[in-house]
Structure 1
Amino acid sequence: MRTSDFDYKSPVELLAKYPSQERDESKLMVIHRHNEKIEHKSFKDLHRYFEEGDIIILNNTKVFPARLLGNKEKTDANIEVFLLRELDSQDRTWDVLVDPARKVRVGNKLNFGYGLTGEVIDNTTSRGRILQLHFHGTHENLLKKIKKIGKTPLPKYLHRDPEESDKKRYQTVYAKHEGSVAAPTAGLHFSKHLLKILEIKGINLVEITLHLGLGSFLSVEVEDISKHKMDSEKCLISEKTCSIINNGIKNKRRICAVGTSSMRAIESSVSSKKNLNPFSGWTNKFIYPPYHFSIANSMITNFHMPKSTLMMMTAAFIGFDLTMKAYQIAIKEKYRLYSYGDAMLIL
């Protein structure tokens, strides 16, 4: 398939610049794959589609304040640095995005305030916009300073600065392990109250960890989608999680991946017997049509940007035609789009 196949006109007024007032009050489009029936519900109705013994897979990654605002030494030009991943804790090197990238060269020093400085030591990367910074000071002090001065890494397309409320709302209520530069947005709809209802009903809530980088959200720059390369992301799946999920597969239970990140994680560690294996490492799994899914038989996801890898994975799970139909209905019914937008449940 071609990247252009996944294009659609996204009305500006449907871009959700802010989350819904309550997490579980966002809209929920329920899509039944077997008969293509579509229902319009509220996210708090989610529990009605699951029974005792079913399994919901949550990504418990936690977003860290990855945006640093600084100035270039000598010229004092404003520079924004977006931390992507730590490469080496001992020499304190990081992969970063710099904006505007054209103003920064190897050897440039950046000042972020509070005694935190950085030096650009490399810009030789596949995209040419990802740079490495070397931070001065101990690793422990570096992390403390990043948390003190860093900003919530809201997506650029929101065209607004992060606010105090974003520290809480651009984070799932079950976030535990810090390491993501973007939120697993399908999980943002879960409230503590809804999780308790699911738990009381006997639904197994299991957790995996996949730290999201920007790779999932960057534009696909090739027309032949099979030639697109995903950035690697760190992933952890425990033996306990595998045991519960594999037992669910054996008993033909409903197994729901919450978000494309959870789906990508579990599809990265499938055994020859189509069971889930424990995993600790990096994955650059790219899922696009056609694809046979081995673990989950349902998925919760948001309405994604045109031509994104997230939309491509959704089409692989639901079918291309039904995906495009669902998006057109979402626009007609004024569903809110993207990270802070509404959700779909695919059964």
Structure 2
Amino acid sequence: MSARLSDYDYELPRELIAQRPLERRDDSRMMVLHRAEQTIEHREFRELKTFMQPGDVLVLNDARVLPARRFSDDGAIEFLFLERLGPTRWKCLVKPGRKMRVGATTKIGGFILRVERIMPDGERIIALDEGFDPYAGGSMPLPPYIDRLSDESDTARYQTVFARTGGAVAAPTASLHFTREILRAIPHAFVTLHVGPGTFLPVRSEKIAEHRMFPERFSIPAEAANKINEAQRII
């Protein structure tokens, strides 16, 4: 496997990037690679069970995305609230960063936000007025390739049907196609991995090994660990 970033360049026409989900989650297309024959076929996601084998266990991430995206009252600054550091202090991603240097202030819902510190990776430590709730009136932090603002429909659709543990700033997008009907037909186990801000940051180093990864919190319940350990194949 190549360790050079340029070896993974390819052209993806913007018109092929869906901006809205299909009405039914499991109507999504599924590409199947048959390794032995070295062939590819296209199926529908609802057919996933067809390709499962006895002894398989599907491992799924039950992290729930929080409505952590907010805009300043004048619409000039976008905040992504990442981590609460204290009653009135949060770690945030801010765009555009040049407008929010140390000491800069703005308002959201009339509450004052002030930049206390800028972290090495550009994250801001923000001091807030007491009583400010970043999730009240917040929106879903859609990926950068979705070229629109989030709306009410994204509250449900940019979330898996099994999301339950709040804390992620992005959805485990490979799981958005699952329905409860599919889950009932397939042995599975839930773990929690809170997708962090690193998912939004591009890889800039030509040598992939030099790319700095952000830490992410996870937990594996004992019941899930037992299922995984007993599985013949983990998916």
TM-score (norm: length of structure 1): 0.64
The equivalences for 1:149-160 within 5 A come to 149-160=137-148
Partner of 2:128: 135
1:215 alignment partner, SS class: helix
Question: What is the Cα-based RMSD across aligned positions, in Å?
Answer: 1.7
Q: Which residue of 2 aligns with 1:3?
A: 5
Moved segments of 4+, more than 4 Å = none
TM superposition shift of 1:77: 6.7
Give the whole-Å Cα distance in 1 for the aligned partners of 2:140 and 2:98: 24
> In 2, distance between residues paired with 1:243 and 1:155?
34
Secondary structure at the counterpart of residue 176 of structure 2: helix
Determine the structure 1 residue equivalent to 2:202.
219
- Structure 2 counterpart of 1:179, from 164, 167, 176: 167
How far apart, in 1, do the equivalents of 2:221 and 2:38 lie? 35
TM-score (normalised: structure 2): 0.93
SS of 1:16's equivalent in the other structure is: coil
Matches within 5 A, 1:297-316: none
Cα deviation code 1:266-319 (max 9, x no counterpart): xxxxxxxxxxxxxxxxxxxxxxxxxxxxxxxxxxxxxxxxxxxxxxxxxxxxxx
Is the CA contact 1:173–1:191 (under 8 Å) kept in the aligned structure 2?
yes
Distance 1:254 1:35 in 2: 21
Corresponding residue for residue 82 of structure 2: 84
What secondary structure sits across from 2:205 in the alignment? Answer: coil
- For the residue of structure 1 that corresponds to 2:11, the secondary structure is coil
Q: Identify unmatched segments of 5+ residues in structure 1.
A: 257-347
Q: Matches of residues 200-279 of structure 1 in structure 2 within 5 Å?
A: 203=187, 205-248=188-231, 253-256=232-235
| Residue type of the alignment partner of 2:112 | T
Conserved? CA contact 2:169–2:195, under 8 Å:
yes
> C-alpha displacement at 1:167, in angstroms?
0.6
Superposed CA deviations along residues 123-171 of structure 1, whole A, max 9, x for unmatched, are 1323x3x21112222xxx54xx323211111122212111111110000
Work out whether 1:112 is the aligned partner of 2:98: no
Q: Is the 8 A contact 2:81 2:134 kept in 1?
A: no
Which has the larger share of helix?
A: 1
Aligned partner of 1:103 among 99, 102, 107:
99
Q: 1: CA distance between counterparts of 2:153 and 2:196? A: 22
Q: Which residue of 2 aligns with 1:54?
A: 56
**Offset at 1:104?**
1.2
CA distance in 2, matches of 1:164, 1:96: 23
1:91: how far off? 4.1
Could you tell me whether the CA contact under 8 Å between 1:91 and 1:134 is conserved in 2? no
Given candidates 127, 136, 142, the residue that maps to 1:148 is 136
Percent identity of equivalent pairs: 39
Of 52, 69, 72, 1:70 maps to: 72
